[in-house]
Structure 1
Amino acid sequence: MRRVVIAEDQAIAREALRVVLEREGYDVAGEAAEGLEAMRLLRTHRPDLLVLGLRLRRLNGIEVIRRAHRAFPTLRMLVLSEIDNAMSISECEKAGASGFVSKTGDFAEFVLALKAIERGRRWFPADETRHVESGCADAQDTSPIGVLSQRELSVLRYLAEGFRIRDIASEMALNERTISTYKARLLRKLNVHSVVGLVDIARRFRLASQAELPPGGVSDATGDIPAPSPYPEIHALLDTLPFGVSVRTLDGHVVFANRHVHSRLGPQRFEAFRRVGLREQALLFGVDEPTARRLEAAFVDATARAVAYRLDAVAESGGELSIGVHWGAPLADANGTVTLMIGGNFNVNGAERLMIGLHEAMAEALSASEARAALLDTRGGDVSAPLDEAIALLGEASARRGAATNDPIAQAHARLQLAALRFDHLRLLATANETAHAWEAHRCDLRQVTRHVVRRSQEGMAMLNVRFLTNFSGRGSGAVWLDSARYARLLAALLYRAAVKDSTGEIPVALQATLRGGGLVDIELRIGPDRAPRKEARRRQTEGDARAEQIELVLCRKMAQALRGELETGGGRGAAAVVLKLSLPRGSEIA
């Protein structure tokens, strides 16, 4: 037995084998880097020995052993491979090999194996781990891969090593449809849903060399879908999520999809889902073409910049619209290089329905509020007109009589004027609060607006015999963005409140402006003294006056909130001052 053929995919390894074999007296009849070429050399040279590795292209080592054993029953075959797991060794033995030597050993063992095979003996590792891992036949039959045929094991190994279906067909010299059939059998027998599951099983039983796996993962059997090898430990975690999550290559093909995606699509649509890109996948979920293109563009941009992204997407299923959020984030390898993208969709229909309900409720509330404001204004006008007539009649009667201030008619005239003034303020405050949503800001000089309101109030409250003392300090109040009409109503109500509480004759009105960053100015408007009014300066209040004052204060606070501010009452114990605090956007100075 002296003629030998070498079949090994690595040129350096072939050269080393040639040197050793020739040194041992063998005649090297031919060398092959591919399985089909090895079979051709066997038919041409009819050697006594075939030395081969398992990683052969165009028909892998196991297939070569199986075919060579059928075609040349007396041919001795010695396997030399780095894939030295128990399952691979057992597979070689079953296929018809005479011996197996690991590439991790030295050439002395290889030479001993050559001599043993030449003498008609077999040479396989006899260590006990091999029997524990693969086992013996009985133990192997109970393992997941024990149910697989030798051809199915070959296809599984190719899949685990990253080969595409068309490449596997070429390697095994079979057609693609046959390989697809084997792949379907593997999925069914091993009870997994994708090539990722097949890869995990192949790795668990060490059917493929870890060092040789492609850095970006393995390819799906379809030939189009790479599967992720760097993150198998997170698959179980992703399967527990109640929404769809997938892992994709940078060109958008799915390499892993969790159970939610499987159940949402069903087996047939999921098969189509795995074979197409992101845009086509979105269409499968019912997304329209423009949205699908937006999702694809966002994904491409995010992968190019290695950043996360999110987009709202509307899909239609069964005639119903579904609102979802599509998101993605980069996954980097140990070197910091982004190789995959993780992403998915989660349904926000519940939140969307809630928001629609809130919008509708808000619209109804605003409509009702505007109706109440109109009613208040109309009914207030109905009351104001006869009240004004009564005040005018009492005024004329008092003038004709030339009555003194303590005359009953003069007193009734004064009290009716106060009541009318309070009614008008309450009406304006209530109407303004009913329409608090209507924010109509424009640029104005806050000092001028304040002076104008103070002057009008002074004239309207002449019967109270008070004088407002204005003081302006700080910078920034000359040009602000404000709903000046609402501010004027609030200020008039606060001035009236201060006037009826204190009859000292002089009420300070101080406006302090403080510039701050972000284009804002803080305003503090203080009305009334910080001290409590003297007992003799306090006006008598009826129970009705007290209730009206409380209602007025509540309405003033709401008005302040509508102006994006707050209202504070009392600077100390019993103090009469009220302080309005606003934070307003600054505008350019008004010429």
Structure 2
Amino acid sequence: MQGHALRCSGYFAGAMAMHTIVIADEQPLLRAAVQALLDAQGHLVVAALDNGAEALQQALALEPELLILDLALPRLGGLEVIRRLHQRQSPTRTLVLTAQSTEHIAGLCLQAGASGFVSKLEAVEELGDAVRTLLRGRAWFPVRSLGSVAAPQGLQAEDEQLRNLSPRERTVLQYLVNGRSNKDIADELSLSDRTVSTYKARLLQKLNAGSLAELLEIAWRGGLLERLPATAGALPDESRDQYFHALFEAMPMPVCLRDAEGYLLTCNRRFLEVLDTTLEQAVGKRVIDSERVPPQEALQFHQQYLQAAAAQQPYSLELVLHDRGRKIALHHWGAPYRDAQGVLVGMLCSFVDMTEHEQALISLTHANEQNLAVRRARLMFLHRVGEEFRHMLEMIASRLHEVAATFEDSAALQQARQDTRQILDRIGVLLDLADLESGTLLLRPWATDLVRLTRDALQAVTADGVLSAEWQAPQAPSPAWVDRERYQQIVGLLLRHCGQWVAAPLQVTASSALLGHAEMLWELRIGPQPPDAPLNAPSDSLEPALVLCERLAQLMGGQLRWHWPPQGGNLLTLRLRLPQATS
């Protein structure tokens, strides 16, 4: 076996620091599920909160590396939390985890300053990938969530998106957001209903909106709604209400008009239906006067509304109503509504009920937790049985060792000892797989020279003379953060299995490359020496040890590739993407 002498100036002492993360979500089951995932990845959750106000406070006080938050948070909406952290130049990166997964919402998160966006409807693996990516200093906005927003020209501001509409698209948009039906628009513009539907679909795509309600929100901010007559502010209430209803009664979403102090002036029929109230009961009331909204959250909403009205700027936030013991999650927004002279008449407001999405998510989370509980119970049982078998076999191995000392020439005893050791090794692999499945197997990275660590692993495997291997490695040290014990376990298992297929010595070749962002790629290739040596075809059965190697490689941010028949003289390639360490 050939090796290279290595001289290292010393290692950075101590283990890698854990990443600090804060979770903010109103649902306790979801908070627990996310925390379990982060714990399994070796991160430290320093706070798990159920409202936006505390999330903002803790993010500013603790300065965690990452804040994972929902948008529908009580007391202070998720978007507002992101904006305020961004305004205060907080070093904390923000990952939005929400059921509101339209392109429009993803675009708003990106504009507010979020570092990443993940839908709650995606597989849990995507959340893990997003967390790892953000902690490496990169953004996570999958193309499917941003859609056309992720095009090469980058994210455009809403006013620029509106300016890029064709004259006909802009005209159709103005008709749509002012309550005109497809048939009315078709008659007005001498188009077919199908052509109007095509324009509508194109507008939803270009403006990254998921519904007509979101188109309305964008149009409010862009000033595309019809203005009230110059005298609208002075019109009698009855005339003003008639004009409002002429514009918004046909709208499929709830719409209301509030004055600068938050008092409701008028609303359409859909608003009354959704809130199960009458016009007489609704007019003259503010959100802060409602018994359905918790006092602290109502005060927070009222303050933000007054600020937006005073600045004559649009706003959006999440609001939770309590109705007959049931929580209703609303995505609420508003925009200034002016007369033809530009005088503020009030704030035009609307909302979308997100409760069904949240309840569906809670049901899925609950079912998932039940399945996980059953799975954990089975794994614990298998783990306990495995430990008992291992203990019994260790006792047998100890007695065989005592007997073998008396009968040194007994080949049967030596074979029994070898068989017992192999069974113990296989049980150890199965127990490790059970720990991986239950999430209790955690990596403990240390700053390590991979060249030296790999050489030590080769020496340990070939020490008994059963297996031989030739070793080629980089001349310079390759320091990285890696779990030493688990890395050596992978190398040992792979060499033993390759040794079953190759009668000749094995050739082990290592290489390293810098990737940027303080990461390195470590590649290990194993094949026969010489490359054309005869091989025994591997068994078609699934070997637990190989499954364990593949899972451990994935846990280390890498992959394991098998080549049968061999490619380039290699049976397998192990690639690990690891954080660099100080030499």
TM-score (norm 2): 0.49
Work out which structure has the larger RCO, using CA pairs closer than 8 Å and 6 or more positions apart in sequence: 2
TM-score by length of 1: 0.49
Q: Based on CA coordinates, which of the two structures has the bigger radius of gyration?
A: 1
